[in-house]
Amino acid sequence: MDATNIQMLSPYVRVAMDHWLQSGTVIAERMLWDYELLYVKQGALKVELEHTVMEAGAGHVLLFKPRQRHSIKVIGDSPVAQPHVHFDLIELPDSADVPVSFKLAKDMNAEEMGWFREDLLSGPDLELPVRIQLRSIQPFEEQLFRIIREYEIRLPFYQLRLKGLMLELLVCLLRDSYWPNQMGEISGADQLVAIQHYMNAHAGRELTLNELAGQFHMNKHHLIHLFKSAYRITPIQYHRQMRMERARNLLEFTQLTIQEIADSLGYPSIHAFSRAFKNKEGRSPSSYRAAAIQ
């Protein structure tokens, strides 16, 4: 897929739902006309895909692609929480008329055989595996449930908003899949993961380069080089972005006051938090919250 085709991406969300599968449930072998993105939030699934058998537990995302023959079975005695989305990567004239498939190709008529979408997520430019182990669960989960809420409520122009939300979700997955491959080529990948976890655990306050370098017994210049090689930004920039992401989530998904959010993130005052937030987001925290709940 070249740059022109990437610019043409315009997802059509066919179904988006929060769903449970009960213990013992089996979804018989089928081939999809579209994509299905299934998030295992709780429980475990056994998937047979073509000639491969795999298991997916909590925190895994399954991406079933057009024409892939597969079946699904619940493992164990617990139900499985599996919010999922069926979508076309590019909306076509018949997108609204094509249902979700529960058939194999041998059972389809000529019209149905024409419903298979082109698979654009198997490379070379955009590539996602069938099973993805999320590195950053919270941002993905929140974005997925934004899509489900938008699909269920169906406010005016909901399909237009769904396109943007779906593209954001796909970018989230592509980046989550991309960085481990990049880091595999970077010396110190294990250290990067440890530093990232440390930053996440200390998102409630400012960190300094000296603290990080001392905590992980690294030269400051080497630490900056390591982060820029993997993330294209410095460690302190990364940590500030992490804190802003947490601020956005708290504003959008909690009833905490802005003062309480500022305190939880370690800002010395509500004014310092508001100034930092506006510099990053282009609007005040109260304005961001008001827009998010509309």
Mean pLDDT is lowest, of 77-81, 106-110, 179-183, for 179-183
* pLDDT(219) > 80: yes
* pLDDT(182) > 60: no
* pLDDT(2) > 50: no
Q: State the pLDDT confidence band at 5, using cuts at 50, 70 and 90.
A: low
Instruction: Work out the average pLDDT over 154-158.
Output: 93
Higher pLDDT, 177 or 206: 206
Range of the domain at 142: 3-181
Contact 34, 88 (CB under 8 A): yes
What per-residue confidence (pLDDT) applies to 126? 87
Question: Is residue 31 helix, strand or coil?
Answer: strand
Contact 116, 67 (CB under 8 A): yes
Q: Which of 143, 159, 181 is the last residue of a domain?
A: 181
What per-residue confidence (pLDDT) applies to 79? 92
Establish whether the linkage from the previous residue to 124 is cis, with ω within 30° of 0. yes
Note whether 77 and 15 are same-domain residues.
Answer: yes
* pLDDT(4) > 50: no
Tokens representing residue 88 in the block? 């076309």
The CATH number covering residue 46 comes to: 2.60.120.10
* pLDDT(179) > 60: no
Q: State the pLDDT confidence band at 25, using cuts at 50, 70 and 90.
A: very high
Q: Which of 158, 181, 204 is the last residue of a domain?
A: 181
* pLDDT(1) > 50: no
Higher pLDDT, 129 or 230: 129
* pLDDT(171) > 60: yes
Higher pLDDT, 194 or 15: 15
The DSSP H or E segment spanning 17 is strand 12-17
Contacts of 274 (CB under 8 A, 6+ apart): 258, 262, 284, 285
Note whether 85 and 160 are same-domain residues.
Answer: yes
Note whether 110 and 91 are same-domain residues.
Answer: yes
Closest CA to 238 of 283, 192, 272: 192
* pLDDT(153) > 70: yes
* pLDDT(136) > 60: yes
User: Could you give the CA distance from residue 18 to residue 145 in angstroms, rounded to a whole number?
Assistant: 8
Note whether 125 and 64 are same-domain residues.
Answer: yes
What per-residue confidence (pLDDT) applies to 185? 47
Note whether 86 and 224 are same-domain residues.
Answer: no
Higher pLDDT, 1 or 262: 262
Sheet holding 44-49, edge to edge: 26-31, 69-74, 44-49, 52-57
| Cα 150–chain centre separation | 16
Tokens representing residue 129 in the block? 């595996």
Note whether 102 and 214 are same-domain residues.
Answer: no
